[in-house]
Amino acid sequence: MPFAKPRDDKPEVPHCPDCKTEMAAVLSVPLAYAPGFEDVFYECPTCTHEVKRTAIPM
Ligand SMILES: [Zn+2]
């Protein structure tokens, strides 16, 4: 397949910057000052590296 189809059915999942493993969402925190937005925390299952992404409502 020459082109990868965009995955519209679920939010983008970050990959670990250290070991490139697909990270797992461990916590989401709604932003009180921005209804519909939330901070999502991801953790690498391999090396426990953590990142935070802000999810934007569609
Ligand atoms: Zn990792």
pTM > 0.75: yes or no: no
- The pLDDT of residue 58: 76
- The pLDDT of residue 4: 66
d(C-alpha 19, C-alpha 44), whole Å: 9
Q: Look at domain 11-58 and name its CATH class.
A: mainly beta
pLDDT tens across 6-54, in order? 556 566 789 999 999 999 999 999 999 999 999 999 999 999 999 999 9
Give me the residue spans of the domains in the chain: 11-58
Only one residue has tokens 């999810």, namely: 55
CA of residue 9 to ligand 1 center, whole Å: 25
Token pair for residue 51? 């990142």
CA of residue 32 to ligand 1 center, whole Å: 30
